[in-house]
Amino acid sequence: METLDSFFETLMNSEKLIAYGGITLLLIIVFAETGLFFGFFLPGDYLLFTAGLLCGTDVLNVSIYSLTSMIIIAAILGDYTGYATGKYFGQKLFTRKNSLFFKKEYLIRTEAFFKRYGNASLIIGRYFPIVRTFAPILAGCVKMNFMKFSIANISGGILWVVTLVPTGYYLGKNHPEVMDYLGYIILFFAVMTSIPIIRAIWSTIKIKRIKQQL
């Protein structure tokens, strides 16, 4: 049990993850979180931010351009994998039983977000946990036009990465003392990324209540 607790503690600590597995593990996590339905619990936003931060403080021995490019590719390929999963196996996910690595409610939450923001959810959803994982799967489920999906996937992947990694890099390069406040930064990300999801769910609930009253 202690080993399992230690594993999950490391998994949720972006700094430890990168220090342990380097760029390879970083890219695997980005791909898994955006492409595999059981990757919803993996760190995303603050992992990218931390990667940029560590690159700026020279802990990661790689150029910011190479780091950003590799993460963009991993994020785009991840969403394509999610789209394919939804297209060919999506309906099975809706009937799948809950488990440690899957919760049906996450699909329902993402569906509410998808209904509220439409195709833009593939771009906006990049910034929100759970939605980031299940939005491309839902796009595949509804057989979204592949070209439209590709445009949203590529533009969303680029926007997501270039707003987080270079920001972390800039702060690490010019204000390395920000490393002392990484825990507070992660908490900020967690709070901010939860607000739109809660709003989307609440909006869906209100619409259902209005329909029931009619």
**pLDDT 10s digits, 67-104:** 999 999 999 999 999 999 888 876 666 666 665 556 66
Burial 164-193 (b: 16+ CB within 10 A, else e): bbbebbebbeeeeebbeebeebbeebeeeb
| Structural domains of the chain, count | 1
Q: How many other C-beta atoms lie within 10 A of the C-beta of residue 202?
A: 11
User: Would residue 16 count as lying in a domain?
Assistant: yes
Q: How many other C-beta atoms lie within 10 A of the C-beta of residue 213?
A: 6
Contact 179, 60 (CB under 8 A): no
User: Would residue 174 count as lying in a domain?
Assistant: yes
Could you tell me the pTM of the whole model? 0.74
pLDDT in tens, the chain (214 residues): 444 344 334 444 556 666 666 788 889 888 988 888 776 667 677 788 888 988 888 888 889 999 999 999 999 999 999 999 888 876 666 666 665 556 667 677 777 777 777 778 889 888 887 788 888 988 888 788 899 999 999 999 999 999 999 998 998 888 877 767 666 666 666 666 555 555 555 555 555 565 565 5
Contact 18, 43 (CB under 8 A): no
- The SS3 assignment for 99 reads strand
User: Would residue 214 count as lying in a domain?
Assistant: no
Host domain of residue 31: 2-207
User: Would residue 213 count as lying in a domain?
Assistant: no
